[in-house]
Chains A and B, each alone.
Chain A
Amino acid sequence: MSRPVLSIRDLKVEFVTRRGVLRAIDGVSFDIARGEVLGVVGESGAGKSLTGSAVIGLIDPPGRIAGGEILLNGERIDDLPAAAMREIRGRRIGMVFQDPLTSLNPLYRVGDQITETILAHLDVSAAEARRRAIDLLKEVGIPAAERRIDGYPHEFPGGMRQRVVLALALCAEPDLVIADEPTTALDVSVQAQIIALLRRLCAERGTAVMLITHDMGVIAETADRVAVMYAGRVAEIGPVRAVVKDPLHPYAKGLMGSIPTLEGAADRLVQIPGSMPRLNAIPRGCAFRPRCGSAFARCHIERPEPLRVGEHDVACFLYAQGAPAEPAAAGPGTEARR
């Protein structure tokens, strides 16, 4: 296999506060290959956005990267000076935020925002940048692109604006796109279109995608692999088919159990009891242990490291040697389903 586009190794992100140092990301590792879509899921506050911010170098004080490495095409980017990191942002890593209504500067023409991004990264003339901007707008499905390029953001409806944002993220042909809940703020009717567009554009260009979302349906349809995050760690990661159909980690089971399906509609819509611990109250041992129906002695003491189980990497002692028998049958999701 060729070198991954993005490789995160044991990433740690901390916030220095008056009451001490809070570790929001605690040893996250994963890779994304060229052309691959990695879905990232997990409850609110799990650290999904923060991981994305760390990759693109936009963690603002009091936050800081406290450890680990981030490699883009094999080169470290987490320790680059600010000017070098700026050249990577937009050029080699594109980003799409949640709310297209607020992502665009209201006072600038859409076309000017695209051309300024192109000119910031590529050595082309202004006229060429404008030509490219029009092509891009056409490609993301903006009708009458030649005319609308001179429109202001407020003249575009929400779905159209997110198309413009996609064009902006892709205008310098990055190797990686981080899409942080790109459709959450949109009308349900256009969500699927935007996701399909993202998928198509990135597939055509061979762009790797880190797709953060709460929508398991989107993950199932779009992602190649999926990472389940919990309390600043990756609980489970693996091919989407395996993790969605046959999750191993008790938390992943609970999460996947909450996807509504056609067969078992209502009774499968379960919530995992309890809530994620706050950063200043993460328990010793496994962070999920207080909510886990299958916890045993070891879970109180040690933090589980990812283990290879089939196609999955799962951070749970149920799959380690010396675990109580029949781990696969246990877990809160299964219990709740009964």
Chain B
Amino acid sequence: MLAFILRRLLQSVVVMITVGLIAFSMFRFVGDPVNQVVSLDTPREQREQIRKAMGLDDPVPIQFLNYMKRAAQLDFGISYQFRTPVTTLIGERMPATLELAFAAAFLALAVGIPMGVYTALRRHSVLSSFFMTVSLVGVSLPTFLIAILLRYVFSVQLGWLPSFGRGEVVNLGYWTTGLLTLSGLKALILPAITLGLFQMTLIMRLVRAEMLEVLRTDYIRFARARGLRTRSIHFGHALKNTLVPVITITGLQLGSIIAFALITEYVFQWPGMGVLFLGAVQNVDIPIMAAYLMLIAFMFVTINLIVDLLYSVVDPRLRTSMRAAT
């Protein structure tokens, strides 16, 4: 098991170095980085000074090494736009994005799994067909359209929920949270639904398909023949067997929720990393773009690692094969 984790960690490091290479080369593609920090009338010798100070005279591999070294210490340089360390900028906005992403993922699981189970167990009920239809809408409507619809109904027409912003936040040192105030929670609802709706329908359909598959297996038939209660067959034996694929998809989706939160953030003016990134793209603020890229990659890698470990918690067969493989 330990060897397995170590091997996966090594793979993760390789992935991160590759992504780092891509992030690093972004600096070089967009012209001379010195131009980004100086104004047009900066004298030549001052430019050279800056070039030296930025380490741009070193051979490229050394530059890359230095960049990765600094990145490992969470130093991604200074933003061209804000003249502030990128780490500070991202650190300020990350809590907003992560709270939004986890709220969306939680919503997707908490609603998607029960709906999936229900539609599998009561395949022919009216409610099931209703859920299936709704899920089709969820899959096919683009995010921004859902956002606009939700805002129109719940903010503009009904006036129940705020249409933008994060509400009042509480500062907990390194983390600002909107989860502790009423206005923060209210502000979270619409963006979380917008972001989570697609994942929710995905999880619902996945759970439904897996559940139907599992209900046909011999061990479920044998469980029935043993006279177990229907509830423990459905929610114990069957549901547990659907969890492995659900964990995979949820893990992968969590990564993309964080990565693609930017549309939702943009529409709801959510002060998260996505908005920061969009601004950086508009202003060719490479340090922010590069750092964002590496951060997202890091999250994907971490989530994948957690997913692999969760598998072995759920499925004893994988525990054995992991032991055997190492």
A contact residues vs B (CB 8 Å cutoff): 56, 58, 86-91, 94-95, 97, 99, 102-108, 116-117, 120-121, 152, 154-155, 165, 168-169, 172
Contact = CB atoms under 8 A, between A and B. Distances in A.
Given A97-B218, A102-B217, A152-B317, A108 B224 contact: no
Interface string B46-90: 000000000000000000000000000000000000000000000
A89 B228 CA distance: 8
A107 B227 contact: no
A58 B229 contact: no
B218 A99 contact: yes
Given A58-B225, A89-B227, A102 B218 contact: yes
A117 B219 CA distance: 13
Given A58-B224, A97-B218, A102-B218, A108 B237 contact: yes
Secondary structure dominating the interface of B = helix
A165 B240 contact: no
Contacts of B226: 89-90, 95, 117, 120, 168-169
Given A103-B222, A152-B317, A120 B229 contact: yes
A99 B222 CA distance: 10
A45 B21 CA distance: 64
Contacts of B213: none
Contacts of B317: 106, 152, 154
A168 B225 CA distance: 10
Q: Which 7 A-B pairs have the closest CB atoms?
A: A90-B227, A89-B227, A95-B225, A102-B218, A90-B226, A152-B316, A103-B222
Contacts of A107: 240-241, 314-316
Interface of B: 217-219, 221-230, 232, 237, 240-241, 314-317, 320
Contacts of B232: 116, 120
Contacts of A103: 218-219, 222
A26 to B, nearest CB: 24
Nearest to B241: A107
Nearest to B216: A60
Nearest to A152: B316
Nearest to A56: B225
A83 to B, nearest CB: 9
B224 A89 contact: yes
A155 B321 CA distance: 11
Contacts of B223: 105
B224 to A, nearest CB: 6
Among the interface residues A56, A106, A172, which one has the most CB atoms of the partner chain B within 10 A?
Answer: A106
B219 A86 contact: no
Contacts of B241: 105-107
B323 to A, nearest CB: 12
Given A97-B222, A105-B237, A86 B217 contact: no
Nearest to A174: B227
A106 B316 contact: yes
A104 B225 contact: no
Contact of A87 (B217, B227, B237): B227
A105 B219 CA distance: 5
A192 B44 CA distance: 94
Contacts of B237: 105, 108
A114 B229 CA distance: 14
Nearest to B232: A116
Given A103-B222, A152-B320, A165-B222, 4 more contacts: A104-B222, A105-B237, A107-B240, A121-B227
19 contacts: A86-B230, A90-B226, A90-B228, A95-B226, A97-B218, A102-B217, A103-B219, A104-B219, A105-B223, A107-B315, A108-B237, A117-B227, A120-B226, A120-B227, A120-B228, A154-B317, A155-B320, A165-B222, A172-B227
